[in-house]
Structure 1
Amino acid sequence: METLEKDLKASLQASFIERFDSPADYLYFSPGRINLIGEHTDYNGGHVFPAAISIGTYGALTLRDDQEIHVFSANFPDVGVVSFNLNDLAPRKYDSWVKYVRGVLYELKQAGYRVERGFNLGIVGDMPNASGLSSSASLELLIGEMLNAAFKLHIARLDIVKLGQQVENDYLGLRTGIMDQFAIGFGEKEKAIFLDVNTMDYELVPAEFGEYELIIMTTNKKRELVDSKYNERRDETELALKELQTVLPNLASLGELDLATFEKYQDAITDSTVLRRARHAVSENERTIIATSALKAHDLVKFGELLQQSHASLRDDYEVTGEELDTLFDAAMLQPGVLGARMTGAGFGGSAIALVPRATASDFIKNVGELYQAEIGYPASFYLAEIVRGTAEL
């Protein structure tokens, strides 16, 4: 990872100098994230168990003496430098990654922070597009922290995390929870984060897998989360909560229920589809709590079983997996010694993870890759998940 970091840092600085005739004053790295377990629970008031990973986004920034914003991505060299004025922050429907720059600036302004000069910004990432590894939150935290430093705004890390979520919710209209930004902001090396999204209380848990590797499997399916059924799922679980509140008036979120209590009162939910959505939210929260305890106890067999149960629930009750993710899951579970696998992230494409014996990791990647290519018609990508600290200056 250190060699790759040096290469990307050097290539970004070289690209920056080429475009702006001077080196950047600020160089930062912002990780992506995986979620070990606890999917679609964050906006339902439950627990999540994510970790920051070494695949992410690098940024270079220098302040200007005018109010112009000039940005480029080394991943899209043909696009060149995109320029806009500091006051030109209205959303553009087809603004690509630049919408996150505008969005962070807009939310900073809404919060009362003063950004009164323009800047030059360059980025490069090693995260595949539409991977479900949260490239958007990685970029939001990257921009937020770089502007925090450059303009000496003295914004607390939790407030930058919340600002990133506001970019998604208020600026872009995607009703995501806070997990992605929190994991990227508060990640620590070789630690996963057990987070209660109601209270923001969290615990860092050693992510120690012994003789096993955590392998990320990316579908390479083209998808835009904003155009997916993400908001629809949120509407469905909110409806389930409202119906449950007719018999449990003090219930504030689905995350407050254990599965036994949910099953006792589930008849209050009138629609069978909405019932299944709620059952996933409740059961997944319970699995996340149990899985965290299993990892603490180094019970990787139990942990792997819970990963499998999570994927089944996301496939059957929440219906957010799809052919590509199910093919990766099925292929992974056919491989010798694999303890568990599951989709990670919002779904509808994106990525999955698998807990694989380190000694057979190469065979696993070869075999799963061949099965996926034969079934889907194009290749998957595979990455070893190195768990790292959150967004920071290089």
Structure 2
Amino acid sequence: MKKRKLIQSTVAHFQKLFHSEPEALFLSPGRINIIGEHVDYNDGFVLPAAINKYFCFAISKTNSNECTLIAKDLNEAYKFDLEEELKPVDKMWVNYILGVIQQLKERGCKIRGLQIVFSSTIPIGAGLSSSAALECGIAYAFNDLFELGLSKETIALIGQKSEHTFVGVICGIMDQFASVFGQKNKVIKLDCTTLQYDYHPASFKNYSLLLLDSNVKHTHLTSGYNTRREEVEYGLTLIKAYFPKVHSFRDCTLEMVEQLKETLGDIIYRRCLFVVKEIQRVQDAVEALEASDFNQLGQLMFQTHQGLSKEYEVSCDELDFLVESVQNVPTVLGARMMGGGFGGCSINLVQKGTENELIASITEHYRDTFGIELKAYKIKITEGSHRYYDKIAK
């Protein structure tokens, strides 16, 4: 679904339910990460970008403290009073929103009730951070409508804390940051420790980005994610004990990790090895982008997937198949799994004009192997969360 059609359908649903025009429209994008996976919570650098898949919010203020949330795609609704104590509920999508509003309340922000209808073109469970887009879109909308004066950084942090407190996933900051700070045809090199960032060119010239959605999501995503965090935190504690000058993984070298291989044990060793190498790969990817060296960027992507699959062990058979299937295809420069893992998408850097042929070939082989229909998304890099002011075509 194109952006304009998404907006039109969201507005139409608002009109149908509330018999009025929405006061404002907001778009909040999903994100990709070119490289730098699972290092956002390991004091590393990441290289995300916002993409042209969105949550659209049609919103009007009310004269009360009652909020009405309408999830158009789910055909579900939820009402609550801002004056009441907010607690997690059994509808997960509601918790992402309640968590954000709770953060605003704790900050003493003066807010009132809203009528909100939202819909999305971000595939759920594909590793494109639909949750961050939802959180940040809600926070951005409240900030805009009630003139709260929150910075973009604060909006991103509110989204992250919402996920920590009301959803129970101790996520890093990358997803929310990319959703808020995205710029057209730019990737963000983000220091996840200091939140310092800069932009780098992402005009891929004769190449384009293609996402291949495995259409699977294995159940151990959340448990696996939290386990990996525990493993690398334990590994860093051991490394610090032997190398007191080390404060974070960015201070670690491969030599340090290799020296402690027996002390760390096989699993922790491989987790730490991946993190140290991935932090360096982000630096190398920035240099490749600045030099328009897309062959080098592609090789780094393949290396990252190998690390995610064998060292960090967050891939799965389906994702490994998707990446291995394109490794020897001349029109594909690089590919890797993207996101938390155990399902979701692979991101592919491919020659422009060859996408449809590649999709057809991989889809057939994937169906034959797993009995699953593959989904494909041609994406572009776009701006972050924003208020939409253009007139809607009727």
With the length of structure 1 as denominator, give the TM-score of the two structures: 0.94
Q: For residues 270-293 of structure 1, give each alpha carbon's deviation from its aligned partner in whole angstroms, at most 9, with x where no partner exists.
A: x21011111111111111111111
User: Is 1:105–2:101 an aligned residue pair?
Assistant: yes
Secondary structure of 2:208's partner? strand
Partner of 1:32: 30
Partner of 1:16: 14
Q: For residues 11-38 of structure 1, give each alpha carbon's deviation from its aligned partner in whole angstroms, at most 9, with x where no partner exists.
A: 1111001111111111010010000000
Kindly state the Cα deviation for residue 264 of structure 1 after the two structures are TM-superposed: 4.0
Kindly state the Cα deviation for residue 299 of structure 1 after the two structures are TM-superposed: 0.9
Secondary structure of 1:65's partner? coil
C-alpha distance in structure 1 between counterparts of 2:289 and 2:253, whole Å: 20
Kindly state the Cα deviation for residue 259 of structure 1 after the two structures are TM-superposed: 2.5
C-alpha distance in structure 2 between counterparts of 1:260 and 1:291, whole Å: 22
C-alpha distance in structure 2 between counterparts of 1:225 and 1:22, whole Å: 43
C-alpha distance in structure 1 between counterparts of 2:235 and 2:344, whole Å: 27
Query: Which AA in structure 2 matches 1:85?
Result: D
Kindly state the Cα deviation for residue 96 of structure 1 after the two structures are TM-superposed: 2.8
Alignment of 1:160-309 (within 5 A): 160-223=155-218, 227-269=222-264, 271-309=265-303
C-alpha distance in structure 2 between counterparts of 1:110 and 1:348, whole Å: 35
Q: For residues 85-109 of structure 1, give each alpha carbon's deviation from its aligned partner in whole angstroms, at most 9, with x where no partner exists.
A: 22242001x3131111111111111
Partner of 1:65: 63
Query: Which AA in structure 2 matches 1:172?
Result: V
C-alpha distance in structure 1 between counterparts of 2:302 and 2:347, whole Å: 10
Q: Is the 8 A contact 1:130 1:350 kept in 2?
A: yes
Partner of 2:322: 328
Kindly state the Cα deviation for residue 226 of structure 1 after the two structures are TM-superposed: 6.4
C-alpha distance in structure 2 between counterparts of 1:258 and 1:209, whole Å: 31
Partner of 2:392: none
Q: Is the 8 A contact 1:320 1:348 kept in 2?
A: yes
C-alpha distance in structure 2 between counterparts of 1:25 and 1:265, whole Å: 59
Distance 1:20 1:29, change over 3 A: same
Moved over 6 A (4+): none
Select 2:367's aligned residue among 369, 373, 386. 373
Alignment of 1:68-107 (within 5 A): 68-77=66-75, 79=76, 81-86=77-82, 87-92=84-89, 94-107=90-103
Identity %: 36
Q: Is the 8 A contact 1:45 1:256 kept in 2?
A: no
Secondary structure of 1:287's partner? helix
Q: For residues 87-140 of structure 1, give each alpha carbon's deviation from its aligned partner in whole angstroms, at most 9, with x where no partner exists.
A: 242001x3131111111111111222232x211101010111111100000001
User: Is 1:148–2:143 an aligned residue pair?
Assistant: yes
Partner of 2:391: none
Secondary structure of 2:198's partner? strand
Query: Which AA in structure 1 matches 2:300?
Result: L
Kindly state the Cα deviation for residue 227 of structure 1 after the two structures are TM-superposed: 3.4
Q: Is the 8 A contact 1:56 1:127 kept in 2?
A: yes
Secondary structure of 1:27's partner? strand
Bigger Cα displacement from structure 2, 257-266 vs 350-359: 257-266
Aligned residues: 387
Query: Which AA in structure 2 matches 1:174?
Result: V
Kindly state the Cα deviation for residue 68 of structure 1 after the two structures are TM-superposed: 1.5
C-alpha distance in structure 2 between counterparts of 1:225 and 1:150, whole Å: 38
Query: Which AA in structure 1 matches 2:332?
Result: V
Unaligned runs of 5+ in 1: none
Secondary structure of 2:109's partner? coil
Kindly state the Cα deviation for residue 154 of structure 1 after the two structures are TM-superposed: 0.8
Secondary structure of 1:71's partner? strand
Partner of 1:55: 53
With the length of structure 2 as denominator, give the TM-score of the two structures: 0.94
C-alpha distance in structure 2 between counterparts of 1:334 and 1:357, whole Å: 14
Select 1:359's aligned residue among 317, 341, 353. 353
Q: Is the 8 A contact 2:92 2:167 kept in 1?
A: no
Q: For residues 151-194 of structure 1, give each alpha carbon's deviation from its aligned partner in whole angstroms, at most 9, with x where no partner exists.
A: 11111110111111111123322111100011111110000011
Query: Which AA in structure 2 matches 1:307?
Result: M
